[in-house]
Structure 1
């Protein structure tokens, strides 16, 4: 009976989906080069896990890794995936704030927590619980896969010593995306930048320092041009995740989607395990290379936080007016972080 049913289906040009074996050619895009951990997690965990999960399903995937801006620059990955130039990419909310605005909630709430895994998993969970988080992807023709990119606690790295906040007055400090808001109230002049340009622009005097994190500062050799490292506890952050072209993803069999979910979970675990073990190593190696590392006093931290504009409130209200309820997301994020044990220097959602 099964043979007759299959023969009839073939005669009608219909093949049961579960019986069709297919090989998928998949391009993965990242604007950053593979020296960075969030790109390496694709090669070292996501891809091999997906391929392992597909064994025995009759399906397979061949991956073409297009990193370092080969088909999409930093902040252009979502557009490349949306246009179908790549099936999967690192959709970086930090560098695509117009399209992934609500995903930037942690970057509008500094001084909340240095626990990078908690920040990343909290934002990842918001995608499960809050339809407005997923809407940001659907509105742009992509699908959230997971593998959140957590960023370790931000540091201030400068080419001059910082003994007090007064030392920042008039200094040009680069920061990525919404992190420029953190400089409000310090007297510093915020300049937009990213990891691919920091070294040369500090070296050539475009700016005097950067807000950056240890795990990227070491491989980027920023200690060579900005040897004064001040630990202010500005906070760990969520910067993006893997996303897929919506039409392509929707066409995949459930077994392939399940394999990608497993790949994203494996990448998330590997990424944060590796990151957490590396942060202390990075600080130690920069110290050994001649950097001067100091810890800001509690008074300096409190003064910085107190003088900062509440950009989170302004950000949320502006998005609310556009029909994107960021105030709810801001509250949900802050509540989740406080419930997890975080003690923010300011309760950005309650002011």
Structure 2
């Protein structure tokens, strides 16, 4: 495998691969391989694509551009749209303006802590909703699959939080739409990303962060924010694999099929790793000096009640923009309830 950066990666990415049996593909992810969604590009997606291509007469020469070498987290979509990369782990959570409907779970927290269920629900709604598929096309991309939901988000803070009132005046690092979950609590969200949390908390820019256990553990967040409040905001759909549309359309059918097969393998590997890592993540958090605190159900209800009607307002904005926001919100909440979940608020009925 070649890990290319800078001009070399761009030169390889802009080559025209279609005339050769070997196709040059740059695959991009903004985060480093310490995170499972990047690790499994190397360990699951690429091997599965290569295996699917065996005997077809086609092969791929992969160039892996991770950890900000080609794009920072959230910049992957632009890199693929511009043709700097052909395939991306595309974290839609960082681009709510580009993929607004895909972020429905982020605006409707306290729904489910089951990542597989969350990914399944949003992927199925997306497949039935032309506007959601059009969002990929608008970015000159094709959704390959590999829809992934993050394990449930929690709150890591430098000082204990025993009630919503304890949030008053705190500055909380929160990526993209997770900032919504801080509204109404008296705390101020600070736009940030996983790679910045540790230093931001250590230097006092933030008093804590909204983050999930399987990312908090490898990032050592408990070293600087030792109180993990298991708020259980939920496990939202956060990303999928996408390909440059022009590149994809010019591919032989066997290669297209291989990319989709690889995306399926990637998703399964991700969820399998995630399940194995969650328990270990709590052990690592404790080993780093973290104290895991389970708030009462009354405190969780208090937190949910403190939030403004974010989903209703979000749906209204999408509707006004000509998108089926109300329809998608209702479909998401209905699917949760049909699966046996009991959301803390019935956001679609407010």
User: Shorter-chain TM-score: what band?
Assistant: over 0.9
Give secondary structure in 2 for the equivalent of 1:146. strand
Alignment-derived partner of residue 151 in structure 2: 152
Q: How does 1:62-73 map to 2 (within 5 A)?
A: 62-73=61-72
Cα shift at 1:305: 0.3
Alignment-derived partner of residue 239 in structure 1: 238
> 1:62-117 CA deviation, whole Å, 9 max, x = no partner?
11000011111111110110010000112211111111111111100100010111
Structure 2: give runs of 5+ residues left out of the alignment. Answer: 1-18
Cα shift at 1:43: 0.6
Q: How does 1:1-351 map to 2 (within 5 A)?
A: 22-351=21-350
> 1:105-144 CA deviation, whole Å, 9 max, x = no partner?
1100100010111101211222322211101011111111
Runs of 4+ more than 3 Å apart? none
Whole-angstrom distance in 2 between the partners of 1:75 and 1:165: 30
TM-score normalised over the length of structure 1: 0.92
| Larger gyration radius, structure 1 or structure 2 | 1
Give secondary structure in 2 for the equivalent of 1:324. coil
Q: CA RMSD in A?
A: 1.1
Cα shift at 1:190: 1.3
Give secondary structure in 2 for the equivalent of 1:218. helix
TM-score normalised over the length of structure 2: 0.93
Contact kept, 8 Å, 1:29 with 1:66, in 2: the verdict is: yes
Whole-angstrom distance in 1 between the partners of 2:200 and 2:311: 29
> 1:24-83 CA deviation, whole Å, 9 max, x = no partner?
110001111111111111111110000000001111111100001111111111011001
Contact kept, 8 Å, 1:21 with 1:58, in 2: the verdict is: no
> 1:259-284 CA deviation, whole Å, 9 max, x = no partner?
11110000000100110111111112
Paired residues, number: 332
Contact kept, 8 Å, 2:115 with 2:148, in 1: the verdict is: no
**Please, which moves more after superposition, 203-212 or 147-156?**
147-156
